[in-house]
Chain A
Amino acid sequence: MKAIERVAAARAIDRPTALDYIGRLFGDSFFELHGDRRFGDDRAIVSGIAELNGMPVTVIGIERGHNTKEKVFRNFGSAHPEGYRKALRLMKQAEKFHRPVLCLVDTSGAYCGIGAEERGEGQAIAENLFEMITLKTPILSILLGEGGSGGALGLAVADEVWMLENAIYSVISPEGCASILWKDSSKTAQAAECLKLTSQDLYKMGVIEKIIREPKHIEDKLVDSLRNIIYNKLHEKKALPVEQLLEERYQRFRRIGAAD
């Protein structure tokens, strides 16, 4: 499969979203918590507490919606600063109870708009990166579809980062790259290839720890196995002494792109 086909698959309209996974993974145990306590409630971010095989976890997902109505309601999965601040509030809450955090990332990027800038989109993402690196509880981030730049990273400073097989993760969209670098939108496919944004590329480069095979539709079998591997990983990380957990998380990012 070519990179550009992965991009199309990651954005496909019928692709399961964060709420689909939350529903299938946690069922009725998910209790949604709203608001950043500072400005408002960002509906592009769905967050709350749930049970995973009996273990309480904090779940934070970026939801893009399926149809037009949902997409508008969810701002197409592009979060404002208050979304990142809501996420951080819930992470701090999780830290207090030493409750693991699961982030489900699916966004073309943080929102670019007047309100987002006025309320400090850059500052909000920066604060998440700054705080997540020393959050004293395990964090696992899974990229479900699109992992768009800083907007995705704001929920992906984690002990491990996994990707669904057809998810993508990139510093810029292939369209943006083609138009900025080559002033030529017909080169989008080439840009997708050059950016090395597929799960296979990122795994090879050591940027992610796991690729999750995906069937065409969410099947019970997939959900059961996903639930179990998430549980096992969070359980394993939860047992680590906090200093070791944080040192390993720091080194995970420290070594990326290190020069000799």
Chain B
Amino acid sequence: MLPNSLFKKPLNALEGSEWYNKVTSKPFVPNDLWIKCPSCKSMLLSSDLEENLQVCPKCRHHFRLNARQRIAITVDEDSFQEFDKDLLSKNLLDFPDYTKKLKNARLSSGENESVICGTARIGGHACALSVMDSSFMMGSMGSVTGEKITRMFEYATKNRLPIVIFTVSGGARMQEGIFSLMQMAKTSGAAKRHSDAGLLYITVLTDPTTGGVTASFAMEGGIILAEPKALVGFAGPRVIEQTIRQRLPQGFQRSEFLLEKGFVDAIVPRGELKETLARLIALHTKEEGQ
């Protein structure tokens, strides 16, 4: 039997770059016509789900999106211009099987790395945009992930643009060892320079955002938004349970928990995200009395 992943790459390649720029076009249609909501167990028609931005119409469960789907529903039509698309990770430590894993990740996700960067317009406002993708090695932070995000911050600083980053990450990429860790410092440095230049950085935390990404640029936004019920934390829940040898309370490390503890500015449902981003960016570009 052929691995399922082989079929996904041509899907992206064939459909080219046009489909993801249109909100109304199909981002990713699962083969099954009916999809079971993991939260309320309702059977949902995949076309209904798609119409509803991959949010369950019954219980508001937010299904995970890949980066292209996210870009499609966030930016103005045809406004996304991708940067550094062809930057490829190398096996810097000569780590066993990493080269093969990278290749498989490229095939199965149809992407070259765990983040897609570029410029776009949101509600007419120009901005820099970085969108992480959990389908590429769980959105782990490789050197190229850090490099692309750093370049985006530097570009935005130079061109005086606001930046929006959608985070989703399992954390560090072990196969890149210390180089993975150093990306936390590198991206943070670039984020600080962007901030010191008086520019706006909005983070949107999506499910799940953990580890080194949480402990660096995800928590450095001037404004931090989150999708409902996204898991956001430094340590993953399993690691914590193993450390403290007890079960974690319901809702622990979810967006609502972070809001209550003061680490998130607002929880924004997917359907309102684009408008919210546009509104916030507008507030930072407006001259008094304009």
Given A126-B219, A150-B215, A181-B174; A257-B234 close (CB under 8 Å): no
- Whether A196 is near chain B, meaning CB under 8 Å from some CB there, is yes
Taking CB atoms and an 8 Å cut-off, the chain B residues in 93-115 that contact chain A are 93, 95-96
Question: Which of A114, A133, A194, A256 is the one whose CB lies under 8 Å from B93?
Answer: A194
Q: How far is the CA of A121 from the CA of B184 in the complex (A)?
A: 14
Please determine whether B235 and A253 come into contact, CB atoms closer than 8 angstroms: no
Q: How far is the CA of A220 from the CA of B185 in the complex (A)?
A: 35
Q: How far is the CA of A256 from the CA of B180 in the complex (A)?
A: 10
**Chain B positions within 8 Å of A117 at CB level:** 233-235, 240, 252-253
**Chain A positions within 8 Å of B211 at CB level:** 150
Given A112-B234, A194-B93; A169-B261 close (CB under 8 Å): no
- Whether A170 is near chain B, meaning CB under 8 Å from some CB there, is yes
- Whether A229 is near chain B, meaning CB under 8 Å from some CB there, is no
Please determine whether B234 and A130 come into contact, CB atoms closer than 8 angstroms: no
- Whether A197 is near chain B, meaning CB under 8 Å from some CB there, is yes
- Whether B287 is near chain A, meaning CB under 8 Å from some CB there, is no
Given A120-B261, A134-B196, A253-B189; A112-B143 close (CB under 8 Å): no
Please determine whether B172 and A149 come into contact, CB atoms closer than 8 angstroms: yes
**Chain A positions within 8 Å of B162 at CB level:** none
Q: How far is the CA of A197 from the CA of B184 in the complex (A)?
A: 17
**Chain B positions within 8 Å of A181 at CB level:** 174-175
Q: How far is the CA of A250 from the CA of B150 in the complex (A)?
A: 12
Please determine whether B178 and A258 come into contact, CB atoms closer than 8 angstroms: no
Question: Which of B146, B188, B196, B253 is the one whose CB lies under 8 Å from A126?
Answer: B188
Taking CB atoms and an 8 Å cut-off, the chain A residues in 92-133 that contact chain B are 110, 112-114, 116-123, 125-127, 129-131, 133
Q: How distant is A32 from chain B, measured CB to nearest CB, in Å?
A: 27
Please determine whether B192 and A134 come into contact, CB atoms closer than 8 angstroms: yes
Q: How distant is B128 from chain A, measured CB to nearest CB, in Å?
A: 18
State how many residues of chain B have any CB contact under 8 Å with chain A: 59
Question: Which of B147, B181, B189 is the one whose CB lies under 8 Å from A258?
Answer: B147
Given A123-B219, A125-B215, A171-B177; A118-B261 close (CB under 8 Å): yes
Chain B 157-194 per-residue mask, 1 if CB under 8 angstroms from chain A, else 0 = 00000000000000011111111111111101111110
Q: How distant is A151 from chain B, measured CB to nearest CB, in Å?
A: 9
Question: Which of A131, A149, A194 is the one whose CB lies under 8 Å from B181?
Answer: A149
- Whether A153 is near chain B, meaning CB under 8 Å from some CB there, is yes
**Chain A positions within 8 Å of B190 at CB level:** 254
Please determine whether A194 and B96 come into contact, CB atoms closer than 8 angstroms: yes
Q: How far is the CA of A197 from the CA of B176 in the complex (A)?
A: 11
Please determine whether A133 and B261 come into contact, CB atoms closer than 8 angstroms: no
- Whether A157 is near chain B, meaning CB under 8 Å from some CB there, is yes
Jot down 15 A-B pairs with beta carbons below 8 A, ordered by A. Answer: A112-B234, A114-B244, A118-B261, A120-B219, A121-B235, A122-B219, A125-B234, A126-B216, A129-B189, A130-B195, A169-B178, A171-B172, A171-B212, A207-B178, A257-B143
Interface residues of A (CB under 8 A from B): 110, 112-114, 116-123, 125-127, 129-131, 133-134, 149-150, 153-154, 157, 169-172, 177, 180-181, 194-197, 202, 205, 207, 250, 253-254, 256-259
Beyond the given A116-B234, A130-B188, A133-B185, could you list 17 further A-B residue pairs with CB under 8 A, ordered by the A residue number? A113-B244, A114-B240, A117-B253, A119-B261, A120-B263, A122-B214, A122-B233, A123-B215, A129-B185, A130-B191, A154-B215, A157-B188, A171-B172, A171-B177, A194-B93, A195-B178, A196-B177
